[in-house]
Amino acid sequence: MKKILVLLCLIGSMSVSAETFKTDNPNRYLKNYTCGSDGYASFNAVNKTDSYWGGIRFVIYDSDNDPIDNFRWILGVAGNSGERLNYRGTNCKKLIGNKYKIKTY
């Protein structure tokens, strides 16, 4: 019984663990990224530059470093600030555990 409880706790913590995703600009990144079972991605978009951050383009790679998927999100984050954002969609879980590149614009 104890093993089942420990296993359930581990599985539950995996779905709520927060990650930080680096982008092509070291002064722009996604912090506290979580992907809930409801399909919502939730994260802080941190912009430490002086310029407006309009969006991001994700490219997902397979184990051979071949691009297998890509998608974009509109952000709208002012310079030297951060925004708590939520996105709903099938792309939420594609970032976790995969190779990726994130280009900012």
Residue 39 contacts by C-beta under 8 Å, 6 or more apart in sequence?
88, 89, 90, 92
Q: Is residue 23 in a domain?
A: yes
- What's the structural domain count of the chain? 1
Q: Is residue 9 in a domain?
A: no
Question: Hey, is 92 helix, strand or coil?
Answer: helix
Q: What is the identity of the amino acid at 17?
A: S
Q: Is residue 37 in a domain?
A: yes
Give, as one character, the DSSP assignment of residue 36.
-
Please indicate, yes or no, whether the overall pTM of this predicted structure exceeds 0.85.
Answer: no
In angstroms, the CA 81 to CA 5 distance is 41
- Residue 41: CATH number of its domain: 2.60.40
Nearest to 23 by CA among 62, 49, 50: 49
pLDDT per residue as tens, the chain (105 positions): 555 544 444 444 444 568 899 999 999 999 999 988 888 999 999 999 999 999 999 999 999 999 999 999 999 999 999 999 998 877 888 887 889 999 999
Q: Is residue 39 in a domain?
A: yes
Q: Is residue 6 in a domain?
A: no
